[in-house]
């Protein structure tokens, strides 16, 4: 995993000036990096390895802050995963709805074709009846002469 890139993503995710959207996008990118590396959020810890860290109460306060940030990262990571899952599910539902719409459109097209065919048959029968009526009328005129 690229340490400088992951550090930059975590800095964006945790920095107070980052917008909620920037935080979510940074965490999503960080999660993808971790998944590619085969890691889980519980596999990492944010620590100060500079050796210049504070001691005593100040160190405890920073440890609590680091723990709070880790909890925030984990919560945001769960939120991102849930949103990604919801998006995948919505995508599957959209595909299913598109298939249903396509099937309904095909059914409507078949029904319209059948209706048009029925209309043609009705018109042909009406023309045949009109021709028979004319023929009967002609025969009646001939028979009356």
Which residues, other chains included, contact 39 with Cβ-Cβ below 8 Å and sequence gap of 6+? 1
User: What is the model's pTM?
Assistant: 0.42
CB burial class (10 A; 0-12, 13-18, 19+) of residue 81? Answer: middle
CA distance 60 to 99: 58
The two tokens of residue 23 are 């935080």
Which residues, other chains included, contact 71 with Cβ-Cβ below 8 Å and sequence gap of 6+? none
CB-CB contact of 11 with 35 (8 Å): no
**Each residue's pLDDT expressed in tens, for the chain with a length of 145 residues:** 567 777 777 777 777 788 888 888 888 888 888 888 777 666 665 554 445 555 556 767 877 888 888 889 889 989 999 999 999 999 999 999 999 999 999 999 999 999 999 999 999 999 999 999 999 999 998 887 6
Q: What is the pLDDT of residue 50?
A: 47
Q: What is the pLDDT of residue 1?
A: 57
Which residues, other chains included, contact 92 with Cβ-Cβ below 8 Å and sequence gap of 6+? none
Please give the torsion angle defined by the CA atoms of residues 107, 112, 113 and 114, in that order, rounded to the nearest 10 degrees. 90
CA distance 96 to 56: 60
Measured in degrees and rounded to the nearest 5, phi and psi for residue 127 equal: -65, -40
Q: What is the pLDDT of residue 6?
A: 75
Q: What is the pLDDT of residue 27?
A: 80
């Amino acid at each position: 995993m690229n340490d400088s890139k992951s550090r930059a993503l975590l800095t964006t995710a945790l920095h107070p000036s980052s917008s909620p959207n920037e935080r979510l996008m940074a965490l999503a990118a960080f999660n993808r990096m971790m998944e590619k590396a085969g890691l889980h959020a519980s596999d990492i810890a944010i620590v100060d390895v500079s050796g210049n860290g504070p001691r005593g109460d100040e160190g405890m306060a920073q440890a609590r802050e680091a723990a709070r940030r880790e909890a925030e990262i984990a919560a945001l990571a769960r939120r991102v995963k849930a949103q990604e899952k919801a998006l995948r599910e919505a995508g599957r539902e959209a595909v299913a709805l598109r298939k249903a719409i396509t099937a309904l459109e095909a059914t409507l097209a078949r029904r319209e074709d059948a209706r048009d065919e029925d209309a043609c048959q009705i018109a042909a029968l009406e023309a045949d009846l009109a021709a028979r009526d004319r023929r009967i009328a002609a025969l009646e005129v001939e028979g009356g002469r």
